[in-house]
Amino acid sequence: MAARKVVLIEGDGIGPEITKAVLRVLDAAGVEIDWTRCDAGISALDKGEEVLPAATIAAIKEHKVALKGPCTTPVGEGFSSVNVQLRKTFNLYAAVRPVRNLPGVETRYKNVDLIIIRENTEGLYSGVENEITPGVVMSMKVATEKACLRIARWAFRFATQRQRKSITVFHKANIMKLTDGLFLRVADLIHQRDYPNIDFRSAIIDAGCMRLVQDPSQFDILLLENLYGDVVSDLCAGFVGGLGVVPGANYGEEEAIFEAVHGSAPDIAGKNIANPLALLMSAVMLLNYLAENDKTSIYAQAAEKIRAAYDQTLLDGAKTRDLGGELNTEEFADAVIARL
């Protein structure tokens, strides 16, 4: 069988170093993927290309699947987020972020097994802003019934396929009665009409966050609009060891891009100390996606082998500094490879 072609974007900041470490682990696990390397972000600008080059878009259109390192987004000025541009270009409307306790990574929280499903295309996170007059700026929160229905259906279908028990929507529909009201109403409709067997709950986001930090184990799937999903993902990462251990996937109808929840971490870039695990876990999600639910597929087997190896690595106490260990990026990759 010919190796599957997958686009690889190293990204900015810690992107190149964690990507290198992840590729070494995949190679050592015998994963056969024909990578098409593409640029995006500051690294593309540095080469005189657009921030999201046409060649990168064309490659993702052709191969349908990408593994992506983080891309830096300038704060308060400059170009708009490459991550947002990619999600919009390919209509990657469903972001999925599993947040689970890992063996050997002690935190204040136990039995955390959350899946965050984030609507990825609308809301304030779209960054549709303008200056009405000097000193007065505005940001538009757009919600469409089409996108709300699409993510609600996706979430309930996902919950059914994965045999998850409940979906909780966090919202602020008491204040944003139209936009968050629509998101909540549509999710409730899909639940009642098509998925009555899945437990459906809702919480106003402020109170929901309070309950979440008291005991995250009382939640299963969280369904959130775009900006809430962004914020709550990082909050939940804190339950299980931080941004170094939470992977993610962005799914559309045809394309899928796998990337860690964290950003480009410029403060630690180039120091070989970043944790490559979140990107490695994202690569495992990618392999399972390529396997298309066939557990006998070589991709599913490689995914399981890598997962078992990083679990054992952590159990043995071999960790990067963000998890209280002493290993650097490369040494952590070596430790995983030694346990494959």
User: Binding residues for ligand ATP, per CB under 6 A?
Assistant: 13-14, 70, 72-73, 243-244, 262-268, 274-275, 278, 322
Element of type H or E holding 193: helix 179-194
191 versus 319: smaller Cβ distance to ligand ATP: 319
168 versus 264: smaller Cβ distance to ligand ATP: 264
73 versus 179: smaller Cβ distance to ligand ATP: 73
Shortest gap between Cβ of 52 and ligand ATP (angstroms)? Answer: 15
Q: Exposed (0-12), middle (13-18) or buried (19+): which is 267, by Cβ within 10 Å?
A: exposed
Shortest gap between Cβ of 8 and ligand ATP (angstroms)? Answer: 17
- In our burial notation (b when 16+ CB lie closer than 10 A, e otherwise), range 316-328 reads eebbbbbbebebb
> In this structure, what DSSP letter does residue 67 have?
E
Q: Exposed (0-12), middle (13-18) or buried (19+): which is 236, by Cβ within 10 Å?
A: buried
The C-alpha atoms of residue 57 and residue 240 are separated, in whole angstroms, by 34
Shortest gap between Cβ of 237 and ligand ATP (angstroms)? Answer: 9
Shortest gap between Cβ of 75 and ligand ATP (angstroms)? Answer: 7
List of E strands, 53-105: 65-68, 94-100
Shortest gap between Cβ of 326 and ligand ATP (angstroms)? Answer: 14
78 versus 266: smaller Cβ distance to ligand ATP: 266
State the CB neighbour count (10 A cutoff) for residue 273. Answer: 18
290 versus 318: smaller Cβ distance to ligand ATP: 318
Closest CB to ligand ATP: residue number: 263
